[in-house]
Structure 1
Amino acid sequence: MKFFNYSTVILAFLCSVAVSAQEPVQVTVTEDAEAPIISKHIYGHFSEHLGRCIYGGLYVGEESMVPNTAGVRNDIIEALKELKIPNLRWPGGCFADTYHWKDGVGPKDERPTMVNRWWGGVTEDNSFGTHDFLNLCETLNAEPYLAANVGSSTVKEFTEYVEYVLHQGGSPMAEWRKENGRENPWDVKYWGVGNEMWGCGGNMTAEHYADIYRQYATFMTDWTNSDGLFRIASGANVDDYHWTEVLMRDIPKHLIEGVALHSYSFVEWNEKGSSIDYSEEQYFSTMKTALKMDTLVTKHSAIMDKYDPNNTIALVVDEWGGWYDVMEGTNPGFLYQQNTMRDAMIAGTSLNIFNNHARRVKMANLAQTVNVLQAVVLTEDEKMLLTPTYHVMKMYNVHQDAKLLPVDFDSPTYKFEGEELPAISISASKTDAGQVNVSMVNIDAHKSHTVEINLGDMDIKDFSGTILSSEDLQDHNTFDQPEKITPKELKKVKFRKGILEVEVPPFSVLVVTGK
């Protein structure tokens, strides 16, 4: 005779009723003539002389057996082209304020070596310098963003760099550039005036840096006579709102085009944890710091609004991403970590935040491009793989230079041990050609959510989509399984009478496109 555990049956029944009764997330998307354009530069990247980002990553040298163009790996060039990266920040980071650009131009065999004091104490030969970087940007059709030395440099060295890069000819620096093989100047619009001046850039006060910035910016000249330089001040560390207040108050508007902001996502600053072997508690904590980006952008923007109501100065989040302990057995100064579905969650939610704040956020730079922190590409000798973060950024590039469509919804919550986070993140846009794009993230580690999106009277005939998901939150691509996590076609998309309905599985990223 078979006995039933009635309490178990009742509990299962109640759970099934609760799931079936779960209300869909109701989202309203509207068109607003005053809504901003989502700048493509929000999808920028960052490559520092750090670990194997440049040497052994992007740059293998012209004599390498790895197929390359002028020493840069061909497979990475093609991957970044596919990603449509709009800009690339270089050479740092902390490295920028110890880098002397003249050491990295001229014949490679005559360049002096240097010790990278910030990252591992390694000796570099300066074989990858300004020409190499700016020529790479031309190959990628990406705008260069030069982070120039303020911390250990002089106004003279800084302004000679601008002259070397931008002056047409007849000046000492322009003639030296021509001697070094580049006849015409490069088109470099974006210039960072130092990096993290509150820390590795000089441990300055905001008031002191504001004066230093004014001095350097005064002597920067746009020798190309184009639409002007875009000068970016070294901005706040996370929630240092005083820093932003001082820069906006003390720097005249005609001397500044952008203010930076740096914020990373981690478990705890002193105990970041493994990039692959993490618990749900660590995942939840990481997502909590990632989602704080919305508060940071909101509050820094409010300060900027007070001094710049006409929105002429951009907020530039030029360092963001996940930061964990280095992979076991690797140099602790190289910051090499793996990239899992947790990083896909960070990427998707962060980009949604930037998109929705596109009125003030005009540029952002993921840290970093290759082999460092939340990289989009990992390499091992001749092998290369694309990370989940790469796939998210490629899925999202439909938003580049599209008009923001404001979204309104109440997110369900992701609950863990008495704490709650919004589970669903959404941003939407519309291109000049009328294509509507909606990106969605569900950070909940267990629950899926049905999302119903009301598109009103938009003239859309049909939707298709892609999804990035996996069986386990800790899943990642390896050199043995480089395609374990790749985007798939989203097969269950319902669109009827202006309502788009999709199921968003746990820890997944979706992008749906309508025409």
Structure 2
Amino acid sequence: MAKVYINEKNKKGHINPELYGNFSEHLGRCIYEGLYVGENSEIPNTNGMRNDVVAALKEMKLPVLRWPGGCFADEYHWKDGIGPKENRKKMINTHWGGVTEDNSFGTHEFFELCEQIGCKTYINGNVGSGTVQEMSEWVEYMTFDGVSPMADLRRKNGREKAWKVDYFGVGNENWGCGGNMTPSYYGNLYRRYQTYVRNYDQKHPIFKVCCGPNAGDTYWTENVLKTCFENAPEWMHGFMDGLSLHYYTLPEDDWSHKGSALDFDDAAWYKTLAKAFKLDELIHKHSTIMDKYDPEKKIGLICDEWGTWYDVEPGTNPGFLYQQSTMRDALVAGLSLNIFNKHCDRVKMANIAQLINVLQAVILTEGPKMLRTPTYHVFHMYKYHQDADLVESYIDGVEQIGEDEKFKVPHLQESASVDKDGVVTITLNNLSIDKAEEVEIAFAECNPKYVSAAILTNDMHAYNTFEDPDKVHEEVFTDYKIENGKIIFTMPACSVVMFRVK
């Protein structure tokens, strides 16, 4: 029997709601068809935004959305996406599929979407092919309420009141698609560009995100921070609030052949989960470097691109990155979110890639049809961690499992939090393909009086289709008992379980 110990009195940090954020890029069918169908579509919409998608994201409690990229951000010129839609500039999306981008979804539409969902906004600025003036004017257009050329232009385009920009990324992947820069070169550009990301609303300063490393590139982290700190004035809030980290989970190491989303064996299952666990190691490594420059942890690590990346589904545009989502992806999501929770002292936001129809999407659409993926259900189950306090937890009696000694994973993995009402939320993953586990949850002081639980489980290859959209879905879990203040149950193989206890 595995024993889960929860010390609900030992609070380890605060879990920002933004750890459960998402990412939407002008890529494939994420924006167009997925989120935005236009005001004249036969698909039910409000100001062009799909009603079914907005409702699902509100139910999932989406806290923050990143836009417009991704690689697209560093070729995006925001003035192309404002004003009358018939006059907006058309362009080729050179990064993703070579399709025409008509800019009908731009700044106004993004804020409209976020207002409908009720989530915070994360804008990614263009450093790769944009100018300081362009970025400065975009911030002025969005956030300045006074009299100015950009604020007046916003009013001319139909928006009187300024919007609130919660997060602003100064460039994206500038080590790669965002300009192929060296860390010292980008570090100097960051210092320059962020200067002109003005806080016009002093009550709600913009959280500025510096482009951080790709996966394990500690050289980038070290040298970007070294450049940014060199001869800098006393470090203060507003110069740099976050440093990004991008990490994708690939079953294979070859980017030209990443592996199938649906056709995989037991070895690929465990290898994928083991690679997802690498997030923990990466966060440790980059946090250690950040601690040298920022020992008080004022700068958040922002994991704003993460998730599984497979070969595209056969017959789809290879530039659209469309893939299905199975129970394997659900377990990747569950263990990753637990890792973020446990690093909440340094990780302040995370954005899975991507929201709809791209990579590890939470939602898939096909014309008027919409389905929730297994990954969606994990986010829905984990939403109770948002804005709660991480508490001490560990599991005793967990074996390492897997087909290959190099890719072993723990049988069970967990995190726990307590909210402002004193309710303890525990999320557990059983990573085994075929072995259930007897589990006992014990608390430091809590004597469970009120318990509710949910479960997501199925065959490891199971996924939802438009013909069977609820094959994998969250269910109420009641197969547990309470004895001597402990919760005892059998956790099925290949499952995610969530308990709420008070």
TM-score computed with the length of structure 1 as normaliser = 0.94
Aligned-partner Cα distance in 2 for 1:423–1:231: 38
Aligned-partner Cα distance in 1 for 2:355–2:228: 32
Q: What is residue 348 of structure 2 aligned with on the other side?
A: 362
Q: Does 1:213 align with 2:201?
A: no
- What RMSD in Å do the two structures reach over aligned CA positions? 1.2
> Could you tell me whether the CA contact under 8 Å between 2:11 and 2:391 is conserved in 1?
no
Q: Does 1:465 align with 2:453?
A: yes
Aligned-partner Cα distance in 2 for 1:190–1:326: 31
Structure 1 residue 497 displacement after superposition: 2.3
Q: Which residue identity is paired with 2:293?
A: Y
Q: What is residue 280 of structure 1 aligned with on the other side?
A: 266
Q: Greater CA deviation, 108-117 or 446-455?
A: 446-455
Structure 1 residue 451 displacement after superposition: 1.9
Structure 1 residue 273 displacement after superposition: 1.4
Structure 1 residue 408 displacement after superposition: 2.0
1:231-310 matches, cutoff 5 A = 231-252=208-229, 253-254=235-236, 255-270=239-254, 271-310=257-296
> Could you tell me whether the CA contact under 8 Å between 1:25 and 1:412 is conserved in 2?
no
Q: What is residue 421 of structure 1 aligned with on the other side?
A: 409
Q: Does 1:93 align with 2:70?
A: yes
Q: Which residue identity is paired with 1:452?
A: E
Q: How many residues in Structure 1 have an aligned counterpart in Structure 2?
A: 491
Aligned-partner Cα distance in 2 for 1:32–1:209: 43
Aligned-partner Cα distance in 2 for 1:390–1:421: 23
Structure 1 residue 27 displacement after superposition: 2.0
Q: Specify the SS of the correspondent of 2:213.
A: strand
Q: Greater CA deviation, 495-504 or 235-244?
A: 495-504
Aligned-partner Cα distance in 2 for 1:293–1:495: 34
> Could you tell me whether the CA contact under 8 Å between 1:46 and 1:88 is conserved in 2?
yes
Aligned-partner Cα distance in 1 for 2:464–2:269: 18
> Could you tell me whether the CA contact under 8 Å between 1:455 and 1:500 is conserved in 2?
no
Structure 1 residue 262 displacement after superposition: 0.4
Q: What is residue 513 of structure 1 aligned with on the other side?
A: 500
> Could you tell me whether the CA contact under 8 Å between 1:465 and 1:493 is conserved in 2?
no
Q: Per-residue displacement from partner, 1:217-247 (whole Å, max 9, x unpaired)? A: 1121111121421000111000011211223
Q: Specify the SS of the correspondent of 1:506.
A: coil
Aligned-partner Cα distance in 2 for 1:96–1:397: 28
Q: What is residue 476 of structure 1 aligned with on the other side?
A: 463
From 125, 128, 131, give the equivalent of 1:148. Answer: 125
From 467, 478, 481, give the equivalent of 1:491. Answer: 478
> Could you tell me whether the CA contact under 8 Å between 2:215 and 2:246 is conserved in 1?
yes
Aligned-partner Cα distance in 2 for 1:506–1:342: 12
> Could you tell me whether the CA contact under 8 Å between 1:197 and 1:209 is conserved in 2?
yes
Structure 1 residue 412 displacement after superposition: 1.8
Q: Specify the SS of the correspondent of 2:244.
A: strand
Structure 1 residue 33 displacement after superposition: 5.2
> Could you tell me whether the CA contact under 8 Å between 1:25 and 1:451 is conserved in 2?
yes
Aligned-partner Cα distance in 2 for 1:89–1:274: 27
Q: Does 1:340 align with 2:326?
A: yes
Aligned-partner Cα distance in 2 for 1:423–1:306: 34
Counting aligned pairs with the same residue, the percent is 49
Q: Which residue identity is paired with 1:491?
A: T
1:384-463 matches, cutoff 5 A = 384-410=370-396, 411-419=398-406, 420-463=408-451
Q: Greater CA deviation, 32-41 or 427-436?
A: 32-41
From 100, 104, 107, give the equivalent of 2:81. Answer: 104
Q: What is residue 13 of structure 1 aligned with on the other side?
A: none
TM-score computed with the length of structure 2 as normaliser = 0.96
> Could you tell me whether the CA contact under 8 Å between 2:394 and 2:414 is conserved in 1?
no
Q: Greater CA deviation, 261-270 or 473-482?
A: 261-270
Structure 1 residue 462 displacement after superposition: 3.0
Structure 1 residue 250 displacement after superposition: 2.5
Structure 1 residue 199 displacement after superposition: 0.4
> Could you tell me whether the CA contact under 8 Å between 1:120 and 1:331 is conserved in 2?
yes
Q: What is residue 138 of structure 2 aligned with on the other side?
A: 161
Task: Give unmatched runs, 5+ long, in structure 1.
Answer: 1-23
Aligned-partner Cα distance in 2 for 1:47–1:115: 18
Aligned-partner Cα distance in 2 for 1:31–1:296: 27
Q: Does 1:70 align with 2:47?
A: yes
Structure 1 residue 34 displacement after superposition: 5.1
Q: What is residue 232 of structure 2 aligned with on the other side?
A: none
Structure 1 residue 453 displacement after superposition: 1.8
From 29, 36, 44, give the equivalent of 2:13. Answer: 36
Q: Specify the SS of the correspondent of 2:133.
A: helix
- Runs (4+) of structure 1 moved beyond 6 Å? none
Task: Give unmatched runs, 5+ long, in structure 2.
Answer: 230-234
| Structure with larger Rg | 1
Aligned-partner Cα distance in 1 for 2:483–2:209: 46
